[in-house]
Structure 1
């Protein structure tokens, strides 16, 4: 039986874990209902070691978010980059999310770093590019859809031969494609509205310090079914 591996790159805030589960559990909850009988889910914590199996041994790869920063080059994160490059070379289906998005871009010779406009948090609109509208994974989404976001770093310089699939007013690189079946997104398709609310509650002071209105951001939180559907649709490419 084939395995889709979720590479865990960090932990959610303790109150989020207690109430809703950790990052990998949020993914599993979204994926389980659409998982074919021929596919199992496994979890590998990248902070312990690079996956023991080569990327080609897996049917697909999902890389989670993290509170770490790609530009600070944690040793475990740097050690994962060659594994990801081999996964791309072997055409293994991949989906990177938030930290996973930034790490994939950095591994493929792009640059991820702090965004000069500061943190983006809350439920915000994301818009498909023309390439996104024609993409096999993204093409069934509305041209503009809401997504949950919380990040201080972004993909600041694209890797070579990368296609921009989605953007918004804060970030020009909300979704990218690197190969036929390798994608990454800055937003969090695994988040629910309660999880996004918990993140904003934790970030109120930092958001206020950069000139945002946390209360307005909390009021604007909504459901993001289109963004979440990407996870289930990704299974078709695994």
Structure 2
């Protein structure tokens, strides 16, 4: 299966040298053998020719806001709508999670509680623990699209994992981020984090982090065979 990665940002230079760029983090998470990967750095205004260029799509995280007025942002939102109409599966992570919601009629804005960074626990709507993942975001979905189903969330981030039938699956947190990567983000982009949140993110751990489970979930969703 050919998977198109819509890369909406770049990792900081220091982290890129040690960990690779955002597209590589997903190749490592999902497995090099899982898909035939092709990256489109849409953040640099390099877009696919058509939604039919690949069998499925993954939209990465980004330091930018889906509400920015940059021309590539509008093109991306329109392209997501085309993917949904095509019936091809897509997965969104953090910024990608928010971009899918905006394209499908939701509202995205600043989290009223401010930054969320580091380990985050998410619960099902029935109150059972769903998963723990590393998060890094100041904005989040404020109003759900009508077609979205909540898989899990938290009091600080109610719409953390969403499904849109068989068409889309999205996560506010970052299954591709390791604890070391989170600590690197604190060092390179954590200047605006409140001290308490910065300290928590710096103490990130891999224990109980559901990266492997979420990876299998993403692979199965994109390619159910």
Aligned-residue offset at 1:96: 0.3
Within 2, Cα distance between the matches of 1:225 and 1:216?
A: 15
8 Å contact from structure 2 (residues 57, 91) kept in 1: yes
Aligned residue pairs total 221
8 Å contact from structure 1 (residues 190, 228) kept in 2: no
* Partner of residue 202, structure 2: 218
State yes or no: 1:114 paired with 2:110.
yes
Residue by residue over 1:99-128, the C-alpha shift from the partner in whole angstroms, topping out at 9 and shown as x without a partner, is 101111111111111112111101121222
* Partner of residue 81, structure 1: 77
Correspondences of 1:50-65 after superposition (within 5 Å): 50-53=47-50, 55-65=51-61
Residue by residue over 1:12-39, the C-alpha shift from the partner in whole angstroms, topping out at 9 and shown as x without a partner, is 122211111111010011122551xxx4
Unaligned runs of 5+ in 2: none
For normalisation by structure 2, the TM-score amounts to: 0.89
State yes or no: 1:202 paired with 2:201.
no
Correspondences of 1:54-203 after superposition (within 5 Å): 55-130=51-126, 143-203=129-189
Correspondences of 1:227-238 after superposition (within 5 Å): 227-237=211-221, 238=223
Q: Secondary structure at the match of 2:196?
A: coil
User: Structure 1 residues 204 and 80 mapped into 2: Cα distance closer, same or farther (>3 Å)?
Assistant: closer
User: Structure 1 residues 5 and 174 mapped into 2: Cα distance closer, same or farther (>3 Å)?
Assistant: same
Aligned-residue offset at 1:163: 0.8
Aligned-residue offset at 1:46: 1.0
User: Structure 1 residues 174 and 218 mapped into 2: Cα distance closer, same or farther (>3 Å)?
Assistant: same
Within 1, Cα distance between the matches of 2:161 and 2:105?
A: 16
Aligned-residue offset at 1:193: 1.3
Within 2, Cα distance between the matches of 1:61 and 1:45?
A: 13
Within 2, Cα distance between the matches of 1:65 and 1:228?
A: 18
Q: Secondary structure at the match of 2:186?
A: helix
161-170 or 211-220, which deviates more = 211-220
Within 1, Cα distance between the matches of 2:69 and 2:165?
A: 24
Within 2, Cα distance between the matches of 1:40 and 1:29?
A: 13
Unaligned runs of 5+ in 1: 134-141
Q: Give the aligned CA root-mean-square deviation in angstroms.
A: 2.1
8 Å contact from structure 1 (residues 165, 175) kept in 2: yes
Q: Secondary structure at the match of 1:150?
A: strand
